[in-house]
Amino acid sequence: MPHPTSSGQLAAGEREDAQVSRLLTWLSATAIGFLIGIGAKAWFAGHSTHAWVLWSFIGLIALNMLYFASTGNRARQKAGMIVIVGLLFTYLIASGGESNTGPLWFYVFPPLLFYLTDLKTGTAVLLFCYLVAVVVFQFPGLPLVSAEYSMDFKIRFFAALTFESIFCFVLEASRLKARNELLTLAETHEHAARTDELTGLANRRDMQNRLAMEFSRYQRSGHHFSIALIDLDLFKQINDQFGHDAGDDVLREFAGLIRTVIRQADVAARWGGEEFLVLLPDTSLLQALTLAERLRSDVSRHAFRFRDQALPVTISAGVCSIAKARSLDDLLKQADLHLYNAKESGRNRIAPRVRSQETESSPSPSP
């Protein structure tokens, strides 16, 4: 059964992706506004070709937005935006934009790139853009290249861009490190919040969540489930006679035995003190009783020891199926009642008793 919050990392990744998508939409809208304005300025300054090229980028950005709106594919949306912005900056460097100020827009690229991609991809794309800029700067006679820059400008442009790129890289690397540490910390806390420290089994709170989920699954699709409420017999005596550490050892060892008996889909929790609850999805009452009986028998045959002393450990359990209960509360109450009956009728037994159990060798006569 999937855990309600075990996919914490995935959920965080999903939230981040959604955040990046929102930022991209906002960025696309802003870029469109800028391109309209700068294009208009170029148009009125008599640079109609430049204006049309800028406006054509509006079409590309709008197409990218539409593609994302119709497919919801965030990875393509990011890649599309990087390619469009890369092309735009290449054009601005090659054409010089207005008054040869086109390359200045390139400074927007490094932070955007590192935010949208991972460090490796960002660095690779940035190096590629550097190469394009070097080619354009060194070979002004190439087709589509109409700008020429002074040596002074080129040196300053690269120096400032390199400084900015390194700065962005370091910032993004430390942001990612802090983010990963936070995620790990959150994961650890989340695990601790649903785990019993002593036995490593689920704790009561986690079991309550799982029971609620299993109950709503039962209400939705009619999938039956059962529970076994298990209590260690006369546990106080073990504590009193052998000490609290011995008691703790027994609880841990018993938790290990439960793990060997249940299936992967079953969930065992420490319900409190020396009481355990096992949730058995898709399990009938009879199957649950069989499992509980196997556990009881394993425990009674298991040699519990503490500092070379043998400990007398047995369990009693109350079992109930959801088919016999009106609600989750009722299910727990009935299991508790059966457990009480098991204790009352001599301990080291499972309740309710069924014929097959009664005819098998039993630790004490059935009530």
Q: Which residues bind ligand GTP (CB under 6 A)?
A: 198, 231-236, 239, 244, 247-248, 251, 273-274, 343, 347
Which residue lies nearer to ligand GTP by CB, 244 or 324? 244
Nearer Cβ to ligand GTP (61/201): 201
| Closer of 302 and 347 to ligand GTP (Cβ) | 347
| 227 sits in which H/E element | strand 225-232
How far apart CA 213 and CA 207 sit, in angstroms, is: 10
Tracing tokens 């991609």 back to the chain, one arrives at 117
Residue 316: in which H helix or E strand, if any?
strand 315-321
User: CB-based contacts of 96: which residues, under 8 Å, 6+ apart?
Assistant: 102, 103, 146, 147, 148, 149
In the complex, the smallest distance separating the C-beta of residue 288 from ligand GTP, rounded to whole angstroms, is 21
Q: 91 or 235: whose CB is closer to ligand GTP? A: 235
Residue of minimal CB distance from ligand GTP?
247
User: Cβ 282 to ligand GTP, closest distance in Å?
Assistant: 30
Q: Least CB distance from residue 338 to ligand GTP, whole Å?
A: 14
Q: How far is the CB of 237 from ligand GTP (least distance, A)?
A: 6
Phi, psi of 204, rounded to the nearest 5 degrees: -60, -40
Closest distance of CB 250 from ligand GTP, Å: 7
Smallest gap from Cβ 232 to ligand GTP, in A, equals 6
CA–CA distance, 210 with 268 (Å, rounded to integer)? 10
- 256 sits in which H/E element: helix 244-261
Q: Which of 65, 52, 61 is nearest to 86 (CA)?
A: 61
DSSP per-residue string spanning 108-147: GHHHHHHHHS-HHHHHHHHHHHHHHHHHHHH-TTSTT---
**Four-CA torsion 332, 335, 339, 344, nearest 10 degrees:** 100
CB nearer to ligand GTP: give 211 or 232: 232
Q: Which is nearer to ligand GTP, 50 or 343 (CB)?
A: 343
Q: What is the DSSP letter of 106?
A: G
| Smallest distance from ligand GTP to CB 341, Å | 12
Choice between 41 and 347, CB closer to ligand GTP: 347
